[in-house]
Amino acid sequence: MIELNNVTVIYNKGTADERIALKDLSLNVEDGEFLIVVGPNGAGKSTLLKVITGEVRPFSGSCKVYGKVVKSERFFSIASIVSQDPNQGIFPNLTVEENLILARKKGVRGFGFGKIYARSLDLLAFTDMGLEKDLKRKAAKLSGGQKQALAMVMAVSSNPKLLLLDEHTAALDPKSTEKIMELTDKINKEFGTTIIMITHDMNIPEQYGTSVLVMGDGTIYTKIDKSKESIDARQLKEIIRSTVLMNVE
| Binding footprint of other proteins on the chain (CB under 8 A) | 76-77, 80-81, 87-94, 98-99, 101-108, 155
Closest approach, Cβ 42 to other proteins, in A, equals: 24
- CB burial class (10 A; 0-12, 13-18, 19+) of residue 29? buried
Q: Which is nearer to other proteins, 99 or 188 (CB)?
A: 99
Q: Largest alpha-carbon pair distance within the chain?
A: 55
Closest approach, Cβ 192 to other proteins, in A, equals: 21
**Residue from 240, 154, 242, 156 nearest 203 by CA:** 240
Closest approach, Cβ 82 to other proteins, in A, equals: 9
Q: Which is nearer to other proteins, 29 or 151 (CB)?
A: 151
Render 64-123 in DSSP notation, one character per residue: EETTEE--HHHHHHHEEEE-S-TTTTS-TTSBHHHHHHHTSPTT--S--HHHHHHHHHHH
Q: Which is nearer to other proteins, 87 or 159 (CB)?
A: 87
Q: Which is nearer to other proteins, 99 or 169 (CB)?
A: 99
> 205: Cβ–Cβ under 8 A, 6 or more apart, which residues?
36, 38, 199, 212, 236, 237, 240
Could you tell me which residues are beta bridge partners of residue 63? 4
CA 107 to CA 187: how far, in whole Å? 21
Q: Which is nearer to other proteins, 76 or 126 (CB)?
A: 76
